Amino acid sequence: MILFYIYKVIDMGKPSVVVDNVSMRFNMNQEKVDSIKEYAMKMFKGQISHKEFWALKNVSFTLEPGDHLGILGTNGAGKSTLLKTVAGVMKPTEGTVSTRGKVVPLLELGAGFDKEYTGRENIFLYGAVLGYSKSFLESKYKEIVKFSELGDFINMPIKNYSSGMKARLGFSIATVVDPEILILDEVLSVGDAKFKQKSLKKVTGMFDKGVTVLFVSHSLRQVRKICNKAIVLDHGQIIKAGEIEEVALFYKRMLAANDGEDPNQVELLSLDKSLKQHRKEEVKKLKDELKESNDKLIEAQAEIERLKALVNNK
């Protein structure tokens, strides 16, 4: 028992995700060669030309347990590819990715469901694909059904489900474990407003347990809310990494520059905006104070009138 705790303490110090010099190459054929005949003909003519495309190039970073990393970048910058290499779906062409603990990717929930299967059967199938054991799934079965709010629908084939129901079931299965590493692509929008609230609560509950998070989003606001660290990818390369506020400012300026605006101007504008906001608040505060003293004045005047009347009566 003591040994276990010692092990845990030693364990805690180790990084939970190490991405070491990862590069990912795609061979882009001019047209997709899909048949042997085509392939043979092209080979014969010497036309097999691969246009190389590096979706990731020398990407390295290390995350400690409990780190929340935001991954920023424009479309096609390699964000999803990076997530896929961390999730183990893709093997990098060069470099290594090592992760410690259970990785749970919350990407396109319910992609692995079988239409003909009932909800119940799909829980075991999907759970098995995620690498959970039978006994574990059996012990968690009730919890999954309860969280998904499917009730009696659980014994119906999935093909009769609405897309919201499917997503709810997928979310419930994927999050039944306490992962060490959570992979999020865009923020979760599962089901109706009530379920959204519930799923968000579950995910933030995981954050509190010290899970390591990799989060991809276009929304800078969300990234700033969730993450403490961030990287910016551009054409497969990390162009900025560090603490969230620093990177967020860089990213904002980068986007502005891409739009052809002067980044300094944008910053000035945003400063100006916050200044205006600040002024507004100040003015409001003054107004409130003024109103308050005015009220007091009226009150005092009334008091004087009352006293005057009293004196006159005397």
Partner 1 sequence: MNKLERVSKNFMKYRFMLVELIKKGVKLKYRRSYLGILWTLIEPLLTTIVLTVIFGMLLGRSGESYPVYILSGRLLYSFFSSATNGAMKSIRQNSGMIKKVYVPKYMYPLSSVIFNYVIFIISMIVLLGLMIFEGVFPTWRIFACIIPLIIILIMSGGVGLILATMNVFFRDIEYIWSVFLMMIMYGSAIFYYTDSIVEKSPSKAILFDINPLYACIRVFRDGVFGEAIHWNLVLYSGLFSVGCFLIGLIVFYKKQDDFILHL
> Residues interacting with partner 1, by CB under 8 A?
26-27, 34-37, 39, 87-91, 103, 105, 107-108, 111-112, 114, 116-117, 121, 124-125, 128-134
Contact 141, 155 (CB under 8 A): no
Q: From the CB of 94, what's the least distance to partner 1, in Å?
A: 13
Nearest-angstrom CA–CA distance, 283 and 298: 22
For partner 1, the closer CB: 167 or 256: 167
Give the residue among 83, 110, 88, 87 at the shortest CA–CA distance from 172: 110
Tell the smallest beta-carbon distance from residue 161 to partner 1 (Å): 16
**Residue 74 or 93: which CB sits closer to partner 1?**
93
Closer residue to partner 1, CB minimum distance, 129 or 307:
129
Euclidean distance between CA atoms 247 and 90, whole angstroms: 27
Q: How far is the CB of 33 from partner 1 (least distance, A)?
A: 9
Identify the three-state secondary structure at position 250: helix
**Pairing verdict, β 212-216 and 181-185:** parallel
- When the beta carbons of 53 and 288 are compared against partner 1, the nearer one is 53
Q: For the CB of residue 91, give the shortest distance to partner 1 in the complex, in Å.
A: 4
- Nearest one of 152, 213, 151, 202 to 177, comparing CA atoms: 202
CB of 217 to partner 1, least distance (A): 18
Nearest to 16 by CA among 97, 136, 130: 97
Q: Which is nearer to partner 1, 121 or 178 (CB)?
A: 121
* Largest CA-CA distance found in the chain, in angstroms, rounded: 123
